[in-house]
Amino acid sequence: MCDLLQRNPDETTGGVGVGSKHGNTMARQKVIEGEGSSGGNKPPPAGRLSPHFNPDDERFDDELRPQKLSEVVGQRKVVDRLKIVLDATLKRKEPLSHILFDGPPGLGKTTLAMTLAKEMGTECQITSGPALMAPKDLLSYLTNASYGSVLFIDEIHRLPPAVEEFIYPVMEDFRVDIVLGEGMNARTINMKLKPFTVIGATTRSGMLTAPLRDRFVHREHLDFYDVMELTEIVQRNAKKLRTEINEDAAVLIADRSRGTPRKANNLLRWTRDFATVREPSGNITKPISERALAMLEVDAVGLESQDRRYLSTLVSVFSGGPAGLSAIGHTMNVPPDTLEDEVEPFLLRLGFIQRTPRGRTITIAGLHHLGLQAPDQRTDSTAQGELF
């Protein structure tokens, strides 16, 4: 059984927590029961037909999260490698080596960390980079870490430098160096910790410093899922939510989920709410999911209004680009980080935009998606090319 614990950073630091995944409660809190918990089969919270539905909502993640590695759909190569590492560690009765997962949001980084802890039969503490504002915020997690347990640090690229330096000896030698006093009177006390596993997750592996990256023995990149994998996730989760869905409808939802299980789950929830209200049987059919997703403004390739706004801003304000990320962010009034993490990866994958050294540009495919004709494009660089 995995005892998953998370603590509110505000409790110790007065800082600002991030993301619902990292909790807002004051006490150390058990967030998931291990095997045998009824989490997956609980009646879901009542649905509401709301225009403010957010397909990236993380609130319901835990209810549908796979509990074992064998329940994880897709990411076959990653899962196979993790299985080897896991089996070897279980055989040797050692703690797991430190693992880093990177990839866009909602692809299963937290899920894999939690299933690994469960498979190890150990407890798992959860925190995140921005929540650890000072080394002292990390200290209570370290002293609570039992032999072989897992400490999951989400958004690890956002660890402040002081905490990052503090964590190096922790990961390497399971030791903390505490400096007491200042100047001439400063003394360092070493404190031994029980060996445990740090599992880091990041949407920006490029922002990790080399020393931190190198302390992770295993590094795994998670990629977008294909439609078949997402269809399987939708069908399995419909069962967990005790909802009838036919295959065509599951494929349609999968197709519009931008390769992301979290989106697939949330679109499924929305469609279920829609079916409950608009379809007497409450069953999800293809026409029902088409109507539900149209109401949510999710288009045929899975773009949402924010994605289309990004593309149209690039066209209307920046003449198709190149435009800098922060300029686009300021124009849209959306944090550039959000655009980089949540909007751009899928647009890049669809080939609707390009990232060039001079900024973002829209492609012909992107223009066609907006129903626009490609202008006679003589970019500065081609014009320059002709000059020389």
Q: Is 369 in the site for ligand ADP (CB under 6 A)?
A: no
Cα→Cα distances 312→35, 234, 372, Å: 47, 31, 10
Hey, which residues between 98 and 157 contact ligand ADP (CB under 6 A)? 105-111
Q: Which stretch binds ligand ADP (CB under 6 A): 33-41, 42-50, 65-73, 208-216?
A: 65-73
Least spacing, CB of residue 48 vs ligand ADP, in Å: 20
Enclosing H/E stretch for 334: none
Q: Which stretch binds ligand ADP (CB under 6 A): 61-69, 89-97, 282-290, 311-319?
A: 61-69
Q: What is the rounded distance in angstroms from the CA atom of residue 266 to the CA atom of residue 54?
A: 8
Least spacing, CB of residue 334 vs ligand ADP, in Å: 19
Task: Name which position in 8, 75, 285, 361 contacts ligand ADP (CB under 6 A).
Answer: 75
Least spacing, CB of residue 105 vs ligand ADP, in Å: 4
Q: What is the rounded distance in angstroms from the CA atom of residue 276 to the CA atom of residue 75?
A: 33
What residues does 377 pair with on adjacent strands?
none
Contact between residue 252 and residue 289 where contact means Cβ atoms under 8 Å apart: yes
Enclosing H/E stretch for 324: none
| Amino acid at residue number 112 | L
Of these residues, 111, 115, 202, 203, which one is catalytic? Answer: 203
Hey, which residues between 293 and 332 contact ligand ADP (CB under 6 A)? none
Nearer to ligand ADP, 72 or 323 (CB): 72
Of these residues, 262, 263, 269, 360, which one is catalytic? Answer: 262
Least spacing, CB of residue 109 vs ligand ADP, in Å: 3
Tokens of 318: 């920046």
Least spacing, CB of residue 91 vs ligand ADP, in Å: 25
Task: Name which position in 66, 135, 320, 321 contacts ligand ADP (CB under 6 A).
Answer: 66
**262 is a catalytic site residue:** yes
Q: Is 200 in the site for ligand ADP (CB under 6 A)?
A: no
Would you call 212 exposed, middle or buried from its count of C-beta atoms within 10 A (0-12, 13-18, 19+)? buried
Q: What is the rounded distance in angstroms from the CA atom of residue 222 to the CA atom of residue 103?
A: 5
Contact between residue 176 and residue 193 where contact means Cβ atoms under 8 Å apart: yes
DSSP 134: S
Nearer to ligand ADP, 175 or 213 (CB): 213
Q: Is 262 in the site for ligand ADP (CB under 6 A)?
A: yes
Tokens of 199: 């599992």
DSSP 374: P
Least spacing, CB of residue 63 vs ligand ADP, in Å: 8
Q: Characterize the bridge pairing of strands 187-192 and 175-180.
A: antiparallel
Of these residues, 154, 243, 269, 363, which one is catalytic? Answer: 154
Tokens of 386: 């002709």
**115 is a catalytic site residue:** no
Give the residue among 110, 167, 101 at the shortest CA–CA distance from 138. Answer: 167
Q: What is the rounded distance in angstroms from the CA atom of residue 44 to the CA atom of residue 65?
A: 14
Nearer to ligand ADP, 105 or 329 (CB): 105
Nearer to ligand ADP, 126 or 362 (CB): 126
**110 is a catalytic site residue:** yes
Q: Is 171 in the site for ligand ADP (CB under 6 A)?
A: no
Of these residues, 7, 21, 65, 109, which one is catalytic? Answer: 109
Nearer to ligand ADP, 20 or 377 (CB): 20
Tokens of 215: 């302390």
Q: Is 176 in the site for ligand ADP (CB under 6 A)?
A: no
Contact between residue 95 and residue 195 where contact means Cβ atoms under 8 Å apart: yes
Q: Is 284 in the site for ligand ADP (CB under 6 A)?
A: no
Q: Characterize the bridge pairing of strands 150-154 and 124-128.
A: parallel
Residues touching ligand ADP: how many (CB under 6 A)? 20
Nearer to ligand ADP, 23 or 366 (CB): 23
Give catalytic residue positions: 109-110, 154, 203, 262
Residue numbers of the site for ligand ADP (CB under 6 A)? 61, 64-66, 72-75, 105-111, 201, 233, 261-262, 265
